[in-house]
Amino acid sequence: MNKLAKHQPIISLTKEKKMKKLLFSNFLIISIVTATALKGPPQSSTIQKTNDESSNGGTLLVSARTYVESYQGISTKQDKGLEYVYNPELRLKELGITLPIPSTPVANYVNGVRTGNLIFLAGKGPKRADGNSIVGKVGVDITIEKGYEAAQLTAINQLAVLKAMLGDLNRVTRVVKVLGMVNSDPSFTDQPKVINGFSDLIVKVFGERGRHARAAVGMASLPGGIAVEIEMIVEVGN
Query: Rounded distance, CA 211 to CA 102, Å?
Result: 23
pLDDT digits (tens, 9 = 90+) for 152-163: 999 999 999 999
pLDDT digits (tens, 9 = 90+) for 66-85: 333 333 333 444 444 445 68
Section 132-146 average pLDDT: 97
Strand 172-183 and strand 213-219: the pairing is parallel
Residue 16: the pLDDT is: 56
Q: Which is more confidently placed, 208 or 28?
A: 208
Residue 65: the pLDDT is: 39
pLDDT digits (tens, 9 = 90+) for 34-66: 454 444 444 433 333 334 434 444 433 333 333
Residue 127: the pLDDT is: 97
CA atoms within 13 Å, Cβ hemisphere of 136: 15
Domain segments of the chain: what residues?
2-85, 112-236
Confidence of residue 29 (pLDDT cuts 50, 70, 90): low
Percent of the chain having pLDDT more than 70? 65
Residue 238: the pLDDT is: 76
φ/ψ region of 167 (left if φ > 0, alpha if ψ in -120 to 50, else beta) reads left
Tell whether the model's pLDDT for residue 93 goes beyond 50: yes
Tell whether the model's pLDDT for residue 6 goes beyond 80: no
Q: Taking CA 105 as the corner, what is the angle to CA 179 and CA 218, rounded to the nearest 5 degrees?
A: 30
Query: Rounded distance, CA 67 to CA 37, Å?
Result: 9
Residue 92: the pLDDT is: 98
Lowest mean pLDDT among 14-18, 185-189, 221-225: 14-18
CA atoms within 13 Å, Cβ hemisphere of 109: 12
Section 201-205 average pLDDT: 98
142 within 8 A of 227, measured Cβ to Cβ: yes
- In this structure, what are the phi and psi dihedrals at residue 183, rounded to the nearest 5 degrees? -70, 105
Q: Which CATH architecture has domain 112-236?
A: 2-Layer Sandwich (3.30)
Residue 135: the pLDDT is: 98
Lowest mean pLDDT among 32-36, 113-117, 144-148: 32-36
Q: Taking CA 9 as the corner, what is the angle to CA 18 and CA 60, rounded to the nearest 5 degrees?
A: 15
Residue 21: the pLDDT is: 56
